[in-house]
Structure 1
Amino acid sequence: MSVSAVLEEEEKKSLEAREFGFWIYLMTDAILFALLFATYVVLSKNSAAGPTSNELFDLRHTAGETALLLISSLTFGFASIAQRAGHQAHVVRWLVVTLLLGLGFLAMELIEFLGMIAKGAGPDVSGFLSAFYTLIGTHGLHVAFGCLGIVVMIGQIQVKGLTQPVRSRVFRLGLFWHFLDIVWIGIFSVVYLPGVM
């Protein structure tokens, strides 16, 4: 066996170990979000005579956020397909579109938070609002880190090309991005829908 074949085999094992480690990270993140969901459900009716979810939530605004995030998952999927086909320029284009959608989601979330605070519904008003801001803010922070990861990936693809380590990083970032979509569907179903009914 040649030296290059041995190195390729070692690199493959290293990338597989990293992917396995990333799955473990996602499972711990799922536990974190499960705890935040449980806390929210317990505290969701504790408005302490402050504003309630029915008074604060705008389902049309949340539907817009949801559309941006779900479409961004689709565009990341297109980036993954382009990567498998070896089309570096298409991967970068789809990642840029995904990044813009993610930033749009974050902007809408910030507008929502600022609007709620302007109505006197800050995180210090009640248990319900503390749990709400913690859950939604933690998800938003994850999306922000995902956007930063996309920027880094675009840079790596431009500099290094679609090498095997870069492909593995794009795959792991895709897992993270799709995971955030799944969490958001949970947030929409557990926080916003019951909150307006």
Structure 2
Amino acid sequence: MNQTMTLSHDLHRDDEASKIGMWLFIFTELLLFAGLFIVYGVYRYLNPVAFHLAAEELSVTVGTYNTIILLVSSATMAMASTAIRLKNKGMTLLLLGITLFIAFMFMVNKFFEWKGKFGHGIFPGSDDLLRLGHGDTLFFGLYFFMTGLHALHIIVGFVLITIVAVRVNNNTLTADNPVLLDNSGLYWHLVDLIWIFLFPLFYLIT
């Protein structure tokens, strides 16, 4: 009975369509952030001094640390895809666990970074930010919106990778059907790619 159900499930599984769907989703996400990057570029061009001064309020050290750990997480996700194909369940779970830990650390760093800004009265709608001027308001408005949207993608990725890890542990995701892990990896690489653009725009170009 179980074998019949498994066979029926495999017959209805379309891995290629699943991968194409993920690539289309990634394309729409890239379009979304490309639009935001264009908005950022226009406003920066119109307010160069204000954006320059506002960027100096951000910690390059924190941004660099987050960039490094996200790059490491991309590597661990890629290695997890290889490990599952080698039928190494233990290594796959270990690599997924490392990726989840890194995602958690990124969110912790982002929490304290945002907390510091709120503590200094720098957040959208605050009186302190409004007193700094229109350019600063635009910069930090974009900063909170774009990094917040990126953080939301991190949370979604965390949930996806957790589901993958549970399925690997339950032997419902194996070397014979690794597409969910592959798609989750593609999504996670997208999250990292977006941050690679956010990091220099907000932290390095001062």
Deviations 1:171-190 (A, max 9, x none): 00000011111111111122
For 1:137 and 1:165, locate their aligned partners in 2 and report how far apart those are by CA, in whole Å. Answer: 37
Deviations 1:64-89 (A, max 9, x none): 11111111111112211101211111
Aligned pair count reads: 191
CA contact 2:153–2:191 (8 Å) conserved in 1: yes
Shifted more, 31-40 versus 130-139: the winner is 31-40
CA contact 1:88–1:157 (8 Å) conserved in 2: yes
Deviations 1:112-135 (A, max 9, x none): 111111111102231211111111
* Equivalent position of 1:76 in the other structure: 77
* Equivalent position of 1:38 in the other structure: 38
Question: What's the Cα RMSD here?
Answer: 2.6
Trace 1:161-180 onto structure 2 (pairs within 5 A). 161-163=172-174, 166-180=177-191
Task: Report the TM-score when normalising by structure 2.
Answer: 0.83
* Equivalent position of 2:65 in the other structure: 64
* Equivalent position of 2:202 in the other structure: 191
Q: Kindly state the Cα deviation for residue 7 of structure 1 after the two structures are TM-superposed.
A: 5.5
Aligned to 1:149, the other structure's residue is in SS state helix
For 1:166 and 1:144, locate their aligned partners in 2 and report how far apart those are by CA, in whole Å. Answer: 24
* Equivalent position of 1:101 in the other structure: 102
| Structure 2 residue identity aligned to 1:157 | V
For 1:46 and 1:161, locate their aligned partners in 2 and report how far apart those are by CA, in whole Å. Answer: 53
* Equivalent position of 2:143 in the other structure: 132
| Structure 2 residue identity aligned to 1:38 | I
| Structure 2 residue identity aligned to 1:42 | V
Trace 1:151-170 onto structure 2 (pairs within 5 A). 151-163=162-174, 166-170=177-181
For 1:50 and 1:116, locate their aligned partners in 2 and report how far apart those are by CA, in whole Å. Answer: 16
For 1:145 and 1:54, locate their aligned partners in 2 and report how far apart those are by CA, in whole Å. Answer: 28
Q: Kindly state the Cα deviation for residue 51 of structure 1 after the two structures are TM-superposed.
A: 9.9
Go from structure 1 to structure 2 and tell me whether the alpha carbon gap of 1:145 and 1:9 turns closer, same or farther (over 3 Å shift): closer
**Among candidates 133, 140, 148, match of residue 159 of structure 2:** 148
* Equivalent position of 2:20 in the other structure: 20
Go from structure 1 to structure 2 and tell me whether the alpha carbon gap of 1:51 and 1:101 turns closer, same or farther (over 3 Å shift): same
Q: Kindly state the Cα deviation for residue 46 of structure 1 after the two structures are TM-superposed.
A: 4.9
CA contact 1:37–1:135 (8 Å) conserved in 2: no
Shifted more, 35-44 versus 180-189: the winner is 35-44
Q: Kindly state the Cα deviation for residue 43 of structure 1 after the two structures are TM-superposed.
A: 3.0
For 1:150 and 1:181, locate their aligned partners in 2 and report how far apart those are by CA, in whole Å. Answer: 14
Q: Kindly state the Cα deviation for residue 144 of structure 1 after the two structures are TM-superposed.
A: 1.0
For 1:33 and 1:175, locate their aligned partners in 2 and report how far apart those are by CA, in whole Å. Answer: 16
Gaps of 5+ in 2: 130-136
* Equivalent position of 2:132 in the other structure: none
% of aligned pairs identical? 27
For 1:175 and 1:50, locate their aligned partners in 2 and report how far apart those are by CA, in whole Å. Answer: 33
Q: Kindly state the Cα deviation for residue 160 of structure 1 after the two structures are TM-superposed.
A: 3.1
Deviations 1:27-46 (A, max 9, x none): 00001111121222233465
CA contact 1:143–1:180 (8 Å) conserved in 2: yes
